C-alpha cells in the first residue's frame, strides 16, 4: 500500500468497480480537519457512524481530537484498544477484510488499512434445531455464523486446551472453515489428515459444510456417510471430549464430526442425560429400526413369493385374501407404494411449515386408502411400507437414514428375484461393505469389530449404554495416554 490516500483509494475502487452494495465515504479528521480519510464497507454490515454507540463513530470522534502524528501512532499501536482491529499492508488483504463484514479505514499518510469491527452481516439467531430433537438437554442449535458456533462450543468446554484452527476455502467465496478439537485429546495425525483433506481440492466456492463433506470423503461411492453431521453444540462438545474433531463452515448451521462409526450415528445427545435403562432401550429400538428400514419390504417379498411355508396357515390365507383382485405382482405393489411414500416425503420437505407436515400425514393416509379401495395394492403392503417409513424416521441422523432408504430398493429387487437367498446375499454385501469402510482410519463397525483395540471398553457404550460410572474410559479416538475420563474421588463408602 502507498502513503498517498488517492492511490490507495483508486486501487481499492478498481478491485470492486461500480458495485452498488459497496459504500464509500470520504471525510477529514484531526484537530484542524487536515487529515483525509476514506471509509468503505458492505451495505447493511456497517452501522450509523454518527451514533455514540458505534465503534467506528467513537473512533472517528477520537481521531478528530488528535494531531496528525498522534493519529498515525495511535492506529499503529491500536492505542484506542479497539478489539479485533487489524492492520493490512496490501489492497488485496484489505478487500478480503472488507468482505468479512467489517469496516475498512484508509488514512492519508498511513501506509496500512485498518479493519474495524462493526455491525457485520445479518445472521440467523441461535434457536432450537429442527433435526436431532431431544426430550432432555439443551435447546440451543448452531447458527449460520461460524463465530457464534465456535462460541457455543467454547461455552460448553471452558478450557484453554480447546483449539480452533481457521482456514479459508473457495477461491471466490473465501469461506472461513474452523477445525475445532481438544489439543491434549485429539491425535496429531488426525488433525493433519483433516487439514490435508481440506486443502487437496481447489474450488470456486464453499457454501455449506455438505460440500466439504463430499470433497473430503475417501469412499465417495458408499451410501453410508463417513462424516457425522450435527446441528447441536452439546453433541459437538461431546465429540470433542472423546478426542474427535469438529469441522465448522461459515454460513452453515451444520457441523461435521470425524472420525465416526456406525454406532455413533445411532446415539443421541439425551442418551447420556437419561438413565441408562431408558437410553439402552431406545438404542435397541433404533438398531431394530435401522435393520427393518432396509430389509422389511424385501423380506416380505421373499416370504410371500418364495417361502410361504415359514408363515402360519391362517396368516398365509389372510395375505391371499387381501391380494384378491389386485392386478399387479407383489413386487410392483411394493415399488409403487415405496415410490409414492418417497414422493410424499420429498413433497413434505419442500412445502413450507405446517403444510409440509399435513401433506406428509394426510397425503399418505389418503393415497394408501384410495389405492387399497381401488384394488391397486393390498392392505398388507400399505402396512409394510408405512412401518418401513416409520423405522427410517426413528434413525436419529438424516444422512445415515438416507443410506438405508437407498439400500432398501436393492433388497427389494434381489429378494423378488432370488427369494430368501437374495435377502441373505444382500445382507452379506452390506456387511462386507461396512467391514471395509473406514472413517479417518477408524473401522466403521467399531466397537463390534476391533473391540480389543480399546480393551473392550468401547462396548460399554454400544448397543447397551451402561451406567455412567462404568464408562471410565474414552473411546478409541482419543490418545492412549488420555483415555481415562472418569475417576472416583471418594475411596470409602460409609454405611450407617
Calpha distance 469→238 (Å, rounded): 16
What are 259's three cell numbers?
A: 472420525
Distances (CA, A) of 395 to 44, 288, 293, 389, 403: 41, 10, 9, 10, 11
Residue 268, classed as helix, strand or coil, is: coil
What are 136's three cell numbers?
A: 432432555
Cell 468479512: give the residue: 100
- Catalogue the long-range contacts made by 260-263 (C-beta closer than 8 Å, 24 or more residues apart): 260/225, 260/226, 260/227, 260/228, 260/439, 260/442, 261/439, 261/442, 261/443, 261/444, 261/445, 261/446, 261/447, 262/224, 262/434, 262/444, 262/445, 262/446, 262/448, 263/446, 263/447, 263/448, 263/461, 263/462
Calpha distance 219→207 (Å, rounded): 22
pLDDT of residue 430: 96
Residues ≥6 apart with Cβ < 8 Å to 380: 300, 319, 322, 323
C-alpha dihedral, 229 to 174 to 86 to 40, nearest 10°:
-120
Please check whether residue 291 is in contact with residue 283, taking contact to mean a CB–CB distance below 8 angstroms.
Answer: no
Please check whether residue 111 is in contact with residue 17, taking contact to mean a CB–CB distance below 8 angstroms.
Answer: no
Cell 473392550: give the residue: 456
Nearest Cα neighbor of 255 from 122, 402, 401, 141 is 141
Q: Indicate the angle between helix axes 209-216 and 188-199, nearest 10 degrees.
A: 100
Residues ≥6 apart with Cβ < 8 Å to 484: 472, 473, 474
Residues ≥6 apart with Cβ < 8 Å to 165: 178, 179, 180, 191, 195
pLDDT of residue 163: 94
Calpha distance 183→160 (Å, rounded): 9
Residue 315, classed as helix, strand or coil, is: helix
Cβ burial, residue 232 (10 Å; 0-12/13-18/19+): buried
pLDDT of residue 51: 46
Question: What are the sequence ranges of the domains in the chain?
Answer: 5-116, 146-260, 284-443
pLDDT of residue 433: 95
Please check whether residue 259 is in contact with residue 439, taking contact to mean a CB–CB distance below 8 angstroms.
Answer: yes
pLDDT of residue 361: 61
pLDDT of residue 494: 47
Neighbours of 421 (CB within 10 A): 14
Does the N-terminal peptide bond of residue 159 adopt cis geometry, omega within 30 degrees of 0? no
Calpha distance 337→370 (Å, rounded): 12
Cβ burial, residue 453 (10 Å; 0-12/13-18/19+): middle
Residue 26's DSSP bridge partners are 38
pLDDT of residue 496: 45
**Tens-level pLDDT at each residue, the chain (496 residues):** 788 888 888 888 888 887 888 888 888 888 888 889 888 888 877 655 544 566 777 788 888 888 888 888 888 876 566 656 788 888 888 888 888 888 888 988 888 888 887 777 777 788 888 788 888 888 899 998 898 999 999 999 999 999 999 999 998 988 999 999 999 999 999 999 999 999 998 999 999 999 999 999 999 999 999 999 999 999 999 999 999 999 999 999 999 999 999 999 999 988 999 999 999 999 999 999 999 999 999 999 999 888 888 888 888 888 788 777 788 888 998 998 899 888 888 877 777 665 666 666 667 667 777 777 777 888 888 889 989 989 999 999 999 999 999 999 999 999 999 999 999 999 999 999 999 999 999 999 988 887 777 777 888 888 899 998 888 888 999 998 888 888 887 765 545 4
pLDDT of residue 81: 61
Calpha distance 160→349 (Å, rounded): 41
Does the N-terminal peptide bond of residue 259 adopt cis geometry, omega within 30 degrees of 0? yes
Amino acid at each position: 500500500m502507498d502513503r498517498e490516500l488517492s492511490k490507495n483509494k483508486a486501487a481499492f475502487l478498481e478491485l470492486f468497480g461500480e458495485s452498488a452494495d459497496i459504500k464509500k465515504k470520504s471525510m477529514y479528521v484531526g484537530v484542524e480537519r487536515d487529515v483525509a480519510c476514506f471509509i468503505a464497507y458492505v451495505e447493511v454490515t456497517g452501522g450509523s457512524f454518527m451514533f455514540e454507540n458505534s465503534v467506528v463513530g467513537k473512533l472517528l470522534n477520537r481521531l478528530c481530537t488528535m494531531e496528525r502524528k498522534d493519529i498515525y501512532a495511535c492506529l499503529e499501536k491500536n492505542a484506542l484498544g479497539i478489539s479485533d482491529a487489524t492492520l493490512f499492508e496490501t489492497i488485496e488483504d484489505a478487500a478480503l477484510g472488507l468482505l468479512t463484514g467489517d469496516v475498512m479505514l484508509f488514512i492519508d499518510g498511513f501506509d496500512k488499512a485498518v479493519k474495524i469491527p462493526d455491525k457485520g452481516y445479518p445472521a440467523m439467531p441461535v434457536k432450537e434445531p429442527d433435526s436431532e430433537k431431544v426430550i432432555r438437554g439443551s435447546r440451543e442449535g448452531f447458527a449460520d455464523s461460524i463465530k457464534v458456533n465456535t462460541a457455543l462450543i467454547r461455552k460448553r468446554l471452558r478450557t484453554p486446551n480447546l483449539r480452533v484452527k481457521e482456514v479459508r476455502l473457495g477461491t471466490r467465496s473465501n469461506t472461513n472453515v474452523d477445525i475445532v478439537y481438544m489439543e491434549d485429546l485429539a491425535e496429531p495425525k488426525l488433525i493433519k489428515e483433516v487439514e490435508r483433506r481440506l486443502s487437496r481440492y481447489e474450488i470456486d466456492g464453499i457454501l455449506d459444510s455438505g460440500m466439504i463433506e463430499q470433497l473430503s470423503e475417501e469412499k465417495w461411492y458408499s451410501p453410508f456417510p463417513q462424516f457425522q453431521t450435527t446441528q447441536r453444540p452439546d453433541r459437538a462438545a461431546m465429540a470433542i471430549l472423546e478426542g474427535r474433531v469438529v469441522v465448522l463452515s461459515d454460513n452453515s448451521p451444520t457441523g461435521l464430526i470425524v472420525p465416526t462409526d456406525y454406532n455413533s450415528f445411532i446415539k443421541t445427545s439425551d442418551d447420556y442425560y437419561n438413565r441408562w435403562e431408558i437410553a439402552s432401550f431406545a438404542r435397541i429400538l433404533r438398531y431394530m429400526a435401522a435393520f427393518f428400514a432396509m430389509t422389511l419390504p424385501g423380506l416380505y417379498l421373499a416370504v410371500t413369493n418364495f417361502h410361504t411355508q415359514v408363515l402360519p396357515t391362517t396368516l398365509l390365507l389372510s395375505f391371499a385374501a387381501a391380494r384378491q383382485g389386485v392386478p399387479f405382482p407383489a413386487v410392483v405393489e411394493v415399488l409403487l407404494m415405496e415410490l409414492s411414500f418417497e414422493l410424499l416425503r420429498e413433497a413434505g420437505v419442500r412445502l413450507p411449515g405446517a403444510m409440509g407436515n399435513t401433506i406428509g400425514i394426510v397425503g399418505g393416509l389418503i393415497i394408501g386408502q384410495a389405492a387399497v379401495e381401488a384394488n391397486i395394492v393390498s392392505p398388507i403392503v400399505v402396512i409394510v411400507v408405512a412401518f418401513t417409513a416409520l423405522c427410517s424416521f426413528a434413525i436419529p441422523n438424516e444422512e445415515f437414514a438416507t443410506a438405508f432408504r437407498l439400500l432398501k430398493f436393492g433388497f427389494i429387487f434381489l429378494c423378488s428375484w432370488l427369494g430368501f437367498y437374495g435377502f441373505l446375499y444382500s445382507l452379506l454385501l452390506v456387511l462386507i461393505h461396512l467391514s471395509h469402510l473406514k472413517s479417518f482410519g477408524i473401522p466403521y463397525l467399531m466397537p463390534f469389530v476391533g473391540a480389543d483395540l480399546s480393551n473392550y471398553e468401547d462396548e460399554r457404550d454400544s448397543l447397551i449404554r451402561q451406567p455412567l460410572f462404568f464408562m471410565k474410559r474414552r473411546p478409541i479416538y482419543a490418545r492412549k495416554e488420555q483415555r481415562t475420563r472418569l475417576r472416583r474421588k471418594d475411596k470409602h463408602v460409609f454405611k450407617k
